[in-house]
Chains A and B, each alone.
Chain A
Amino acid sequence: MRTEDLIARLVAQAAPVRVLPPPSARLLLWFALALPAVAVVTLAMGLRQDLALRLGEPVFLLRLGASLATAVAAALAGLALGVPGRRRAWALAPLLPLALWLLSLGRQCLLEIRGEAAAELLTGPHLHCLPDIAVMMGLPTIAMAIMVLRGAGLRRRLELALGGLAAAALSNAALSLAHPVDAGLLVLLLQGGVVAVLALGMGRDASLTESR
């Protein structure tokens, strides 16, 4: 087919399209959907009894802040990478808060191994909390996956991974207000599995020609 003929064919299909808002606006939309969902589950689980005490601990606040910052940065990066022409460096945005979050988990593990802190991370997974955790992560993950799929799909697996990380980080921040022990490792492991399945199912890169 000649290029001129292809252009004529495409012009014949020039229907109006719903323009994708900028990543920052889509980030706000995601938070508007995800925050109430995690808040409802957190309140349904009940706030942890020692919350007031923990909120006075710098390490707890650092972990909470790093988790929230990871959620913001990863969500923004995942949404930005779906737009052609945006810098690849967006993928690096969540690295710093994620490193802080993981370092705080590592520090906690170390203290528990040395017996300098009460067993929390190393007590084994609270499997009975899994349904609550899954429900908490469900809506943010689904909302993010739908939003990522609206993008151009240039680096879809990476976009889904970042979106999944954002949902996990937000859920972890909410969980830390309700769950008696830190569930960060469990959340990351569970979400890692979910994202792997999503990436296998919907993660084909550069699905650029699909009409929307």
Chain B
Amino acid sequence: MRADDTHLRDLMRAAQSGDGRAYGSLLTEAAPIIRRAVAGRWRGPDAEDIVQEVLLSVHGVRHTYDPARPFVPWLLAIVQYRVADAARRHARRAARETSECGFAHGLPEVAAPVAEEGPGDPQLLARALADLPEGQRRAVQLLKLEERSLKEAAAATGMSVGALKVAVHRGIKALRAKLTGREGEE
């Protein structure tokens, strides 16, 4: 592990100087270490998403690594915080979701709650979404439908966080205008 750490430390030092090849090797060699560490701490779904979040974090804070110190503890500290983040997100999401009715207790006697804005028309929504400009469509798709974070969406699209916020805002506004306009015609 020590020799491994020295190798990773050298790669990180080179990466901090802008050496892309060293950076690629570092991230490729670090990925299995991250994967193992995540597996040891996380029993929930989407473990590979956490691995990717750790890689994004490593990229974002690589300036905080001190080449005079071991690399792996620095990396594992980021893993630890990313897993804790994921656990918090998971708990929040679980708290928001209403529990499913188990078939063991029979079918529910009441109908599923209707959304406040009405059931809507999925096909109409899909058509309206397809009509949006590419940037807005991608932003709405990633942030609203897939519920990805701004940072994940930024990494996936190459857009800045600010541009994504603007695109999703305009996209939702355009969707609302289209849907309410058509509903008015019917």
A residues sitting closer than 8 Å to B (CB atoms) are: 1, 3, 6-20, 22, 82-86, 150-154, 206, 208-212
B34 to chain A, nearest CB (A): 9
The answer to whether B52 and A82 touch across the interface, beta carbons within 8 angstroms, is: no
| Closest beta carbon of chain B to A88's beta carbon, Å | 10
CB-based contact B52/A14 at 8 Å: no
Chain B contact-residue range equals 35 or more
For the residues of A in contact with B, the DSSP-based class is loop
Are A85 and B74 in contact, CB atoms less than 8 angstroms apart?
yes
Of chain B, the residue at the smallest CB distance from A210 is B60
Say whether, besides A1-B156, A17-B62, A82-B64, A208 and B18 are in contact (CB < 8 Å).
no
6 contacts across the A-B interface (CB closer than 8 A): A11-B20, A16-B17, A82-B64, A85-B70, A210-B60, A212-B60
Question: Are A83 and B66 in contact, CB atoms less than 8 angstroms apart?
Answer: yes
Docked CA distance A20–B69 (Å): 13
Give A8's nearest chain B residue, CB to CB.
B24
A7 is contacted by which of B31, B84, B85 (Cβ under 8 Å)?
Answer: B31
Distance between A35 CB and nearest chain B CB, rounded to angstroms: 25
Instruction: Give the nearest-CB partner of B79 in chain A.
Output: A84
User: In the complex, how many angstroms separate the beta carbon of B71 from the nearest chain A beta carbon?
Assistant: 9
What 4 pairs between A and B have smallest CB-CB spacing?
A16-B18, A208-B57, A84-B77, A17-B63
Partner of A10, one of B18, B23, B69, B85: B23
B61 closest partner in A (C-beta): A152
**Interfacial chain A residues near B85, Cβ < 8 Å:** 206
Closest beta carbon of chain A to B161's beta carbon, Å: 9
Which residues of chain B from 64 to 123 have a CB within 8 Å of any chain A CB? 64-70, 73-78, 81-82, 84-85
